[in-house]
């Protein structure tokens, strides 16, 4: 057991002082310890614990001021700080004046500098590093990867400390916030994506159905059918509208999406297979009826999200904590997307400029089989001026994974 985990457990299960505390502690110590995250594999994942009970343990031990959204009283903070440091209030006032941010300046008092411009003759190490970074960005003509990484991080920065316009949309104090990574589906043998496709922040009051609706997958946008004879005909539906069944698998429980009449229990195939081979029995539930706070999970452990029949994603809960006043407190913005991986778009095999829109097979006009075409090249090569089909080929609508960039 690591030192940090041991200190944290000692804090949660501290020695009670009164007889009432000792009696209450003796009856609830077993249940409490089961809901304290403890590493099953060091730096990999924890043992299973109940999210809601874990939140209640924190709320019992913490003072309301520790998780309150109210700004801390400055005078009370100074008094507590002076008491903690063993100094008088006079010395505290003197330190406050000397260490004030207003006294940290490298320009004349009558000048109002631009905070975005670093002085050329600065001597502070931090300003020198910032100046070097600014010069690098100005001299760089294009940096696509850096630009996307900045945007991906910007999704998180834009919501820090954001508060709702209406009080009813405020996340309640003491709410639990989960950070969830969604990975790409493993659809071929040499699958090597190790970075998450997207990272979401959700509250404990969200249901698993809310999590499912927030997951973006290109397989949900696929159009079924062959349209070489009628390329202008709009499809009747996309896969997400027709195949609505899905499930999550957490700690031996299949949570199926049963919100619509078309939904089916697609987990039964796995359950029956497990029964025929004497595996431990699995339980079932409805994802729309289960809140995230009601789950018993392992932090850092890979779980399963399956939809479209066999499109399987890994789902890893990487963090469980209480909400803070610096978090995004607008309930309407959750599930909150904080990161999305950039996917390289697949260009047309003819022009190598536009993104692919059509996939053809058995195509005598194509350089390969199958072959990817943009809409313009596809129509120019395969149809005459009147729109009549030329030659024999099969054409399927293609949705580029980069559509989610």
Residue 284 has pLDDT above 90, yes or no: yes
Beta carbons within 8 Å of 215's beta carbon, 6+ residues apart = 182, 198, 305, 313
Q: Report the percent of the chain where pLDDT is more than 90.
A: 27
Every domain of the chain and the residues it spans: 152-221+235-340, 358-404
Looking at 243-385, list the stretches that DSSP marks H as alpha helix, in order from N- to C-terminal side: 268-276, 375-382
Query: 112 by DSSP, 3-state: which?
Result: coil
Pick the more confident residue, 66 or 282.
282
Pick the more confident residue, 21 or 281.
281
Is the full-model pTM beyond 0.95?
no
Q: Report whether 358 contacts 372 (CB < 8 A).
A: yes
CATH class of 152-221+235-340: alpha beta
Residue 356 has pLDDT above 80, yes or no: yes
Note the pLDDT of residue 259: 92
pLDDT in tens, 190-243: 556 677 888 999 999 999 999 999 998 888 888 878 888 888 876 767 888 888
Residue 316 has pLDDT above 90, yes or no: yes
pLDDT in tens, 8-38: 444 444 444 444 444 444 445 555 566 777 7
pLDDT in tens, 123-163: 888 888 888 888 777 765 444 445 555 555 566 667 777 88
Residue 40 has pLDDT above 80, yes or no: no
User: Which candidate, 16, 12, 4, 24, places its Cα nearest to that of 49?
Assistant: 12
Residue 257 confidence class, pLDDT cut points 50, 70, 90? very high
Mean residue pLDDT across the chain: 81
Q: Report the percent of the chain where pLDDT is more than 70.
A: 82
Residue 355 has pLDDT above 50, yes or no: yes
Q: Report whether 342 contacts 193 (CB < 8 A).
A: no
Structure tokens at 67: 């998780």
Lowest mean pLDDT among 109-113, 163-167, 266-270, 312-316: 109-113
């Amino acid at each position: 057991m690591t030192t940090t985990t041991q200190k944290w457990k000692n804090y949660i299960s501290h020695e009670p002082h009164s007889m009432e505390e000792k009696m209450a502690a003796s009856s609830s110590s077993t249940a409490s310890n089961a809901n304290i995250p403890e590493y099953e594999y060091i730096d990999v994942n924890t043992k299973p614990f109940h999210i809601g009970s874990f939140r209640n343990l924190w709320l019992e031990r913490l003072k309301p001021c520790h998780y309150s959204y109210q700004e801390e009283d400055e005078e009370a903070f100074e008094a507590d700080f002076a008491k903690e440091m063993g100094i008088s209030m006079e010395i505290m006032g003197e330190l406050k004046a000397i260490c004030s941010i207003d006294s940290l300046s490298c320009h004349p008092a009558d000048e109002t500098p631009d905070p975005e411009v670093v002085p050329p003759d600065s001597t502070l190490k931090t300003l020198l590093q910032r100046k070097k970074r600014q010069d690098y960005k100005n001299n760089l003509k294009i940096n696509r990867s850096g630009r996307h990484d900045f945007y991906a991080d910007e999704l998180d920065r834009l919501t820090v400390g954001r508060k709702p316009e209406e009080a009813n949309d405020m996340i309640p104090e003491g709410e639990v916030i989960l950070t969830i990574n969604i990975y790409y589906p493993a659809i071929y043998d040499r699958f090597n994506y190790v970075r998450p496709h997207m990272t979401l922040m959700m509250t404990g009051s969200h249901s698993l159905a809310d999590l499912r609706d927030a997951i973006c997958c290109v397989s949900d946008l696929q159009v079924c059918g062959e349209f070489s004879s009628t390329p202008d005909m709009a499809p009747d539906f996309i896969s997400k509208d027709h195949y609505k069944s899905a499930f999550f698998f957490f700690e031996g429980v299949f949570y199926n999406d049963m919100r619509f009449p078309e939904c089916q229990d697609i987990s039964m195939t796995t359950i029956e297979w497990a029964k025929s081979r004497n595996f431990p029995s699995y339980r079932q539930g409805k994802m729309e009826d289960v809140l995230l706070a009601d789950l018993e999970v392992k932090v850092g452990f890979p779980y399963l999200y399956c939809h479209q029949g066999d499109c399987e994603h890994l789902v890893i809960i990487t963090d469980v904590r209480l909400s803070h006043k610096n978090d995004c407190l607008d309930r309407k913005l959750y599930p909150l997307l904080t990161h999305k991986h950039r996917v390289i778009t697949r260009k047309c095999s003819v022009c190598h400029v536009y993104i692919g829109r059509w996939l053809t097979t058995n195509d005598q006009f194509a350089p390969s089989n199958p072959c990817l075409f943009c809409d313009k090249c596809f129509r120019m090569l395969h149809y005459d001026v009147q729109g009549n089909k030329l030659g024999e080929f099969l054409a399927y609508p293609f949705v580029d994974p980069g559509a989610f960039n």
